Each structure stands twice: as C-alpha cells, then as structure tokens.
Amino acid sequence: MALECLNRTDLDVQIQAGIQATIRRYEGQRFWFNESSTVLTASVSTETVAVPTDFLFLDQIRVTENSADLPLVWAPFSLIRQINLNHAVGLPTRYHIYGQNFYLANVPDSAYALPTFYVHRLPQLVNPTDTNSWLSAAEDVLVFGAASYVSALIGDLPNAEKWKANELTFFQQDLLWKRDAYGGGRLTMTRF
C-alpha cells in the first residue's frame, strides 16, 4: 500500500524529498549505525581544530600525551578565550565547540593526538540507486515517512496520517528497540 504511493514514477522528486525529510527528522539521534570515531591532530600554537566534516554532535574528545588518553573537559567559550588571551601554551585540558571548530585551552605546545568520538551524518542519498545505513537499518521508517510526505503533497491526508502513524510505530518499536539492544545507545571506547 505505501509502496504503491512510492512506485509512482511521476513523483520521483517528491519521493526523494520525502526520504530526505524523514532522515533529517531522525539523524540528530544516536543509533549504532551513525556513531563514529577518529583521531584529530592539534597543531602547535593553534587554538582550533576543525570538527570532522560529517560531525553532528560530540560524545567525547580526549588528548593523548605520553601514550595516556586524557579527557578534555567542556568549558564555556568565554573561559577558553580568557585562558588563551595570554597565549597560555601547554597540554590542552579544555575545549569548546564554536562554529565548525573545537577551541582548545591551553593552546597546544605540541602536535597532540585528539581521539574523538561523535555521532556523524551519513552520506546523503542523491540518486535513486544510492544507499546508506539508514536504508538498511531503518527501511520501514523511511518507507512510511516518505509515503506520508508524498501522500500529504498530493492531498491524500487520510493516508498521510496512516503512514505517519506507521512511521512512528516502526521508529519506536523497531529502530529504538534495536538501538537500545546494541548497548544502550552509547559509543564506548575499546582499550587494548
């Protein structure tokens, strides 16, 4: 039934928009398939490090010194600026996200490794043949979300409401259940 709505070739653009709208609605939440980690590098005498290009929100950022990973502590931007005003250099101990950068205090005196754990944005689906983890992990949510979107656009409000209810059911009873079954929805570091 929902697939009938989504198999209309005259609505390809609207179907794609419905899929993207459904992804945007949920992408700010943590799932096992959108957790990521990377190691950024602080530059000597530079207080900023760019966030990863696919960054949505941070779990944790750490600094490595002499093989020890130490957590950086969040601080208000005004405190970071105050500490760095006097060009205090050394091991960074604090951070703040401002714009597309991590601001560090103290200003790094070495090229420190910064293990970073975060939730990332998956590659956007541009072409009808594109795929990403949303399609494999949340296919039913996307199908019903797109069907609701397209049905509303063509004026079929009863079906739009029905598909929206199905979308929410699959989101709550399937996707959230799977997320919680994968460890409570928190990325954890592996120590060796």
Residue pair 112/46 in contact (Cβ under 8 Å)? The answer is no
Interval 94-104: pLDDT, tens: 999 999 999 99
User: Residue 34 CA to chain centroid, in angstroms?
Assistant: 6
pTM, two decimal places: 0.78
At residue 162, the pLDDT reads 93
Q: Is residue 78 part of a domain?
A: yes
pLDDT at 190 over 70: no
Interval 141-161: pLDDT, tens: 998 999 999 999 999 899 999
Q: Are residues 49 and 114 in the same domain?
A: yes
Q: Are residues 40 and 116 in the same domain?
A: yes
Give the number of domains in the chain. 2
Q: Are residues 84 and 109 in the same domain?
A: yes
Q: Are residues 136 and 109 in the same domain?
A: no
Instruction: Report in angstroms the alpha-carbon separations of 123 from 20, 46, 170.
Output: 11, 30, 22
Helix H segments across the chain? 2-6, 12-26, 77-85, 133-137, 139-153, 157-170, 176-181
Q: Which two tokens stand for residue 127?
A: 């072409």
